[in-house]
Amino acid sequence: MSDRLIINLSFLTQRPTGHTVYAQNVIPHLKSLNPTLLISEAALPDWKSKHPELDLQGVPSNLNPDYGKNGHIRRLLWTQFRLPKYCKKQSGSKQSGSKQSSKNRSGNLLFSPIPEIPLYSRIPSIITLYDFIPYRFFKPRTPLYRYYQHYIPRVLNQCKHIITISEATANDAMEFCGISADKITVIPLAYDDSNFRFLDLPTQNYVLYLGRPDIYKNLDRALRAFAQVPNHQDYEFWIAGPNDPRYTPVIEAIAWDLGIKIKILDYVPYRELPILINHAIALVFPSLWEGFGLPILESMACGTPVITSNTSSMPEVAGDAAILVDPTNVGEIASAIGSVINSNDVRRELRDRGLKRVKQFSWNTTGKLTAEVIASRTSTPLSPQ
């Protein structure tokens, strides 16, 4: 008797960030569970070429963040009304090729690497939860706030088990949604050590921020702090991440008013990121809140000093390998930037600590732990890979 594992990957994007990076690195470690992957038609050829051993089934391609808000709405509707049919179809197709009777089948288990499942369905589900940032920082009338206020609590209460990427996110699930601790397993993210590594490149005259320019990312205070560094005119502040018409013009206006040099790079291709990071004097990442903070790991893996916040998950990731600052204290951020810019010894110390720290994180470990969580909640044995 065995459960059939179905993995919903309808959210995969063509520009790998966040959830897509997570899925690309974790899913290959679940192949011993013989899953069926529901994956967008656009991503299907690439996945088939890289993972021919996996059972891949195509779903519509317009359900992911590449299609903005409309993509999200379509995915929610697809998840609610079409995904159960896919699960039933997969169960039927597997049973038709088997001599076992349906009485000996325990059905399907759905793993969703994002917190979205068919509500009020009988399909047992395991989800991955990243953060509650919209709940903390978005206005009540915004769509994402409502999504977290009304939809996410129902998902968390209905699903069989929850994987969170940090203790901070686990605590938020318990605080905001009343989820019990025994329903949560914390499995940290990791980084791609084949891509992000120390290249020993010459340091150039810029500090770097990686990510979106959303308000909670605290870029306004980061720029004001940079302007307080006495010799900041000799350096530039580079911002690498998707432009947002709501926030990017505000950031440009702040930099203009402060008289500082900034460079906005928009989205940087994955393979080019390590070069950008290796050349930077430091990563400045004083976010007000993060579910994990993957740029911290990626920068430490490149030997680039990290300045980040002392709140939420960021100390979990950085440990003693970064300068931790109060993200609301502009003077404290400025002092940290100045110490890294003006001291070879500080940079060298942070580089060495960072390169040592990242050895504690690997996708191999994250993937194996995820497989163990899923296997322990099914009747499918976890075979050696």
Per-residue exposure over 206-230, b if at least 16 CB sit within 10 Å of its own CB, e if not: bbbbbbbbbebbbbbbbbbbbbebe
- The pTM of this model reads 0.90
Q: What does DSSP assign to residue 287?
A: -
What's residue 217's pLDDT?
96
23's CB contacts (< 8 A; 6+ apart) are 9, 11, 12, 113
Q: How many C-beta atoms surround the C-beta of residue 189 within 10 A?
A: 23
Nearest 5°: phi and psi at 244? Answer: -135, 120
Q: What is the CA radius of gyration of the chain?
A: 22
Three-state secondary-structure class, residue 168:
helix
As a 3-state breakdown, the chain gives helix, strand, coil percent values, each rounded to 5, of 50, 15, 35
Q: Rounded to whole angstroms, how far apart are CA atoms 216 and 196?
A: 26
The low-confidence residues of the chain, meaning pLDDT below 50, are 1, 95-106
Q: Give residue 91's pLDDT.
A: 62
How far is 105 from 298, CA to CA, in rounded Å?
Answer: 43
Structure tokens at 119: 């509500």
Q: What is the pLDDT of residue 139?
A: 81
> So what's the pLDDT on residue 15?
73
* Per-residue pLDDT at 266: 82
Q: Classify domain 206-360 by CATH number.
A: 3.40.50.2000
Protein fold of 4-190+363-375: Rossmann fold (3.40.50)
Find the length of the chain: 385
pLDDT at 57 (0 to 100):
93
Contact 152, 172 (CB under 8 A): no
Residue type, 148: Y
Of 72, 74, 78, which Cα lies nearest the Cα of 38?
78
CA distances from 116 to 10, 126, 363 (A): 11, 10, 23
For the chain, residues classed under CATH 3.40.50.2000 are 4-190+363-375, 206-360
